Chain A
Amino acid sequence: MLTTAVNKAALGTTAITVGFAAAAFGVAYLAVGLWRCDPRWLRIGRRMVAWVLGAGLVASGVMEWALVSRDFSLAYVADNGSRSTPLLYTVASLWGALEGSILLWVVILGVYLAAMVRRLRRSKGFDPAGAWATLTGLAVAAFFFGLMLGPANPFAPVDGPVPTDGPGPNPLLQNHPLMAFHPPILYAGYVGFTVPFAYAVAALTTGRLDEGWLASTRRTTLFAWGCLTVGIVLGGWWSYEVLGWGGYWAWDPVENASLLPWLTGTAFLHSVIVQERRGMLRLWNLSLVTATFCLTILGTFLTRSGVINSVHSFTQSPIGPWLLSFLGLSAAVSVGLIAWRADRLRAAGHIDSPLSRENAFLINNVLFAGFALVVLLGTVFPLVAEAYDGRQISVGEPYFDTMTRPLGFALLFLMAVAPALPWRAASGDVLHRRVALPAWVAAIVMAAAAVVGLRGLAPVLALGLGTFALAVIVRQYATAIRAQRRSGSVGWLAAPGAVVRSNPRHYGGLVVHVGVVIFALAFAMSSAFSTDREVSLDEGESARLAGYRVTYQGVASSQEGDRDVTSARLLVERDGRRLGVYEPAVTRYPTQTVGTPSVHTGLWEDLYLTVVRLPDGDGPATIGVRVNPMVLWLWVGAGIMAAGTALALLPRRTIRSRSGDTPAQSAPVEAPHVPAVAGEGSS
């Protein structure tokens, strides 16, 4: 037992050392190769990526082995494992605490870097941009391996005698399977933004500031963005199913930390299109990408350093100063490089008219950047204020709601109008033709809903703007299908698919927009119309809320390993129809007591039940009953967003035209810099 334990620690530490060395050597080889303009050095440097990935995989493999075999001689296992933890949560406890989560981080970074190097392999000869990108990626990897050699060593031996059992993961992390998926997906998003960052640094150092780096990173950025989106929503879902306060988003610092890179990343996905089409916003795009990367590091700092208290923050450790220094370094390098190249980053074109697609993207970016600023200030300000004069200030939900709501509505409006705007300049005719009908549809839906009895500014506006956006998209799609059909090469049945295949990126984006609309609507409705009550019920007694009847049928207790689960049996009926017995529970772990809600998920509303207070003997139990409308549609909306992202990742397939023209390539860059005369619409 002892010998294998020592071996595991030694093996893991060796793997981490190898990983660090490979990353450091890779950086050195690439630097020398760039200095000497010698592709042979670059090739060796690139090969180091395989070692980095391999070392990361071996190290996390050893850690999983230690966790599953319950090797309590490792401090990490002793702190986060236990003999009674089910296998799924044992495996998942790799990312349940700080050290393990950094292991996961380097594995994911290794995979991204390997994919990047695979693409670069195709380029023959001396490729300074690719080399700089690899160098940057390896430098980031070296930092994270360095963290594990220094303050966050996952293979540290346990202090004192080896315990025979451990406390297991934090109770909140082991009562829902979502916890097994949410962190890796979120990390896949976080870490993925390293790749565009690396390419941006490469573009800046080599001075190749054209659209090439955007083309090389488009897929990775989009994939990372999709993962981040899904990861954030899964986090909200976990919060909803596990924490039991009835909501899914609380503007908690850790939630905000994941939202920040999402906001700047979303801005980037849009502004990139402007640079590809028109060669504008180069400086802005570089700034956005570097900011997104820095925000992922800031997020890791906020989450992992223990500077903030949060329901999602499960680690406290001394790595704060390291992460903060790395954040400062990344920010300084980015700002320095951008300032150095500023003279080359002048826009080649300009915006012809305020009523144009590019101007819509620009406003989109201002709004997203403003949104990010609100979230950043609200999250960081209490820390800064406390450091500044020791005053404790809270910035919470009411602040974020007040500030982000107008931005959200402005973005929804823009999302409706922008797809209808042509590039360069819209004439009044074009705009009217594309927008008038959808606007009528939206206005009628809005007014009808208000007359029927929908109350509240936010729900009414969300419904109206959402319908507007959907109607514009449907109209555009229908027009494109008709045009495709008229051109005669495809039949009615094939036309809808052919249109999408002709430009998966565009239509994938529109599908994401549909998901956003559904999500926004569900968000507005569930925030505005949830009702809750606390009821004290004796056995056999029932309570009514919003058409539901909840009957308390007593408690049931069970012992599962080291935990003691007491659940309240609640018979739920709606309008006389039996929906089933729901059992919200209170689980006593040796360390902590955790309440678990029980949710009846319906198409239009959820019934959310919690145990507020267990009965003393035969006394009454206090039950929290909450009706949340449209929550299911949050997850549906997010699913549609993920599907749209996947669609946008598909390569553009060209449909062979009848005339036998050469099929168009999927070249994302068109010659952009054609000056045009402004404001000459056909009106």
Chain B
Amino acid sequence: MTLRRWLSWAGVATLVAVAVLTGMRPAGPSGDDDRAVAIAESLRCPVCQGLSVADSDSETARAIRSDIVRRIAEGQADGDIRQAYVERYGEWILLRPRGGGLGTVVWLVPVAAVLLAGTAIAVVGRRRRRLWRLLATEQDRNVVAAARRSRRSGDGPNGRGATGHDRASSRTGRVGGEVR
């Protein structure tokens, strides 16, 4: 059973890996057009309200788009093209703030917060669980096991915990969730 279960999950994992690896293969060679669009998407349209150069129909955005295409044709690197615009308009033109200095805050704070919260939950949860386990005696555990056994024979393997909502129906002797 356990082996079968492992094999089953290994199969799922293989399929997912195949899907992700196949899916990540680019559809065609990444051309200059894609580069131009990517750069345009990362620059703010200077005369619009919160639109990128790629999304805007304004004359300015159009001029920048053709300038980007020209610079790519000249062989400039993506970073250099962006830098040229930063020199002309300031950091403000970049829709994706650069790390370093003040811009680091927007990148680091959320990542740190989520990681910290996750760790805290794991640590506190484990500590609390250990505490409760210490408090439960062997006798308590037997009582719980007996109760579980009786429920299992009563109304299915998972009882009312099955879908987590059928409190009412299990009270009337009906199970909304799992019956096997």
Contact = CB atoms under 8 A, between A and B. Distances in A.
A189 interface: no
A366 B57 contact: no
B144 to A, nearest CB: 5
A486 B176 CA distance: 10
Nearest to A451: B22
A45 interface: no
B118 A366 contact: yes
Nearest to B175: A483
Nearest to B8: A436
A354 B113 contact: no
B96 A486 contact: no
Contact of A447 (B18, B92, B161): B18
Interface string B139-180: 011001100100010000110011111111101111111111
B172 A397 contact: no
Nearest to B18: A447
B6 to A, nearest CB: 10
Contact of A499 (B52, B168, B176): B176
A397 B95 contact: yes
Interface in B1-51: 5, 8-9, 11-12, 15-16, 18-20, 22-27, 41-42, 44, 49-51
A664 B169 contact: yes
A494 interface: no
A575 B56 CA distance: 30
Contacts of B94: 394
Interface SS of B by simple majority: helix
A646 B133 CA distance: 42
B161 A456 contact: no
Given A455-B25, A595-B57, A677 B96 contact: no
Contacts of B96: 395-396, 398-399, 402
B163 A370 contact: no
Contacts of A363: 118, 121
Contact of B41 (A397, A459, A680): A397
A403 B110 contact: yes
Contact of A310 (B50, B93, B133, B161): B50
A456 B19 CA distance: 10
B73 interface: no
B176 A457 contact: no
Contacts of B179: 479, 482-483, 486
A436 B26 CA distance: 31
Given A310-B50, A659-B173, A677-B133, A443 B15 contact: yes
Contacts of A449: 19, 23
Nearest to A509: B165
A457 B23 contact: yes
Contacts of B175: 483, 487
A624 B168 CA distance: 58
Contacts of A433: 178, 180
Contacts of A367: 114
B106 A483 contact: no
Interface in A304-320: 309-311
A247 interface: yes
A462 to B, nearest CB: 11
Nearest to B128: A350
A398 B41 contact: yes
Contacts of A270: none
A183 interface: no
Which residue of B56, B118, B148, B162 has the most chain A CB atoms within 10 A of its CB atom? B162
Contacts of A353: 129
A265 interface: no
A310 B51 CA distance: 9
A664 B167 contact: yes
B20 A461 contact: yes
Contact of B178 (A407, A479, A499, A595): A479
Contact of A394 (B11, B18, B44, B169): B44
Given A250-B51, A423-B164, A479-B177, A446 B125 contact: no
A499 B166 CA distance: 10
How many chain B residues sit at the interface, stated as a range, is: 35 or more
Contacts of A679: 129, 133
B22 A450 contact: yes
Nearest to B114: A370
Interface stretch (A19-27, A84-92, A335-343, A373-381): A373-381
A616 interface: no
A395 B92 contact: no
B166 A397 contact: no
A664 B157 CA distance: 23
Contact of A369 (B117, B166, B178): B117
A480 interface: yes
Interface in B68-106: 90-97, 102-103, 105-106
A253 B165 CA distance: 39
A394 B24 CA distance: 30
A628 to B, nearest CB: 13
Contacts of A10: none
Interface string A475-504: 010011011101101000000000100110
B117 A370 contact: yes
Contact of A455 (B9, B11, B23, B55): B23
A18 interface: no
Contact of B55 (A250, A370, A447, A499): A250
Contacts of A446: 15-16, 19-20, 23
B57 A440 contact: no
A393 interface: yes
B60 to A, nearest CB: 14
B37 to A, nearest CB: 9
A322 interface: no
A440 B12 CA distance: 6
A381 B105 contact: yes
A422 interface: yes
A450 B19 contact: yes
Nearest to B152: A682
Contact of B23 (A402, A454, A595): A454
A659 B172 contact: yes
B26 to A, nearest CB: 7
A661 B109 CA distance: 55
A177 interface: no
A647 to B, nearest CB: 14
B111 to A, nearest CB: 8
Contact of B166 (A245, A385, A503): A503
Contact of A245 (B22, B27, B55, B176): B55
A395 B97 contact: yes
B14 to A, nearest CB: 8
Given A657-B173, A680-B145, A506 B117 contact: no
A355 B144 CA distance: 19
A311 B50 contact: yes
Given A369-B117, A502-B168, A480 B177 contact: yes
26 contacts: A245-B55, A245-B57, A250-B51, A350-B128, A352-B129, A367-B114, A369-B117, A385-B102, A393-B91, A393-B92, A393-B102, A395-B106, A398-B95, A422-B163, A439-B12, A446-B15, A447-B16, A450-B23, A456-B23, A457-B20, A457-B24, A664-B167, A670-B167, A677-B140, A677-B141, A680-B148
Closest 7 CB pairs of A and B: A396-B95, A664-B168, A460-B23, A443-B15, A398-B96, A370-B114, A446-B19
Given A252-B49, A369-B113, A394-B44, 15 more contacts: A244-B57, A245-B55, A370-B110, A381-B97, A398-B42, A422-B158, A422-B162, A422-B164, A444-B15, A446-B20, A450-B23, A487-B173, A624-B57, A677-B132, A677-B133
